[in-house]
Amino acid sequence: MKAKTYTGLAPAIVFLVALISSVAVAPRAALAVSTADQICTPNADPCLITTVIKVDDGSTLDFGTRAVVLSGNGELDTGAGTVSVLCGNFVAAGLT
């Protein structure tokens, strides 16, 4: 059996398909949020935060009268910035 020899555009197409495939599965940095509704749905009461959520510097997270509960690995990460949180009860469960 004779091996196939590619000429012209075929090698370039194979390279492009491989490149596009690797970009499609590459991990992406989490996008930061700037509103409460990006964290929990508007009817979630309490809003239970169990993961690290990156928040844009200077954001105001207005949960209205809803309670906010940080538990487990829950965290509002502002980096070196600041954030205002407006809510009903605010509970940080399990902090030592």
* Residue-level pLDDT at 42: 95
pLDDT in tens, 31-89: 899 999 999 999 999 999 999 999 999 999 999 999 999 999 999 999 999 999 999 99
For 5-15, what is the mean pLDDT? 49
The model carries a pTM of: 0.67
Q: How far apart are CA 63 and CA 9, in angstroms?
A: 56
Enumerate the domain spans of the chain.
30-92
Beta strands in the chain (DSSP E): 47-49, 52-54, 59-62, 68-70, 75-77, 83-86, 90-92
Output the CA torsion sign for 72, 59, 63, 31: negative
pLDDT number for residue 94: 73
Evaluate if residue 90 carries a pLDDT over 50.
yes
- Say if residues 90 and 68 touch (Cβ distance below 8 Å): yes
pLDDT at 93: 85
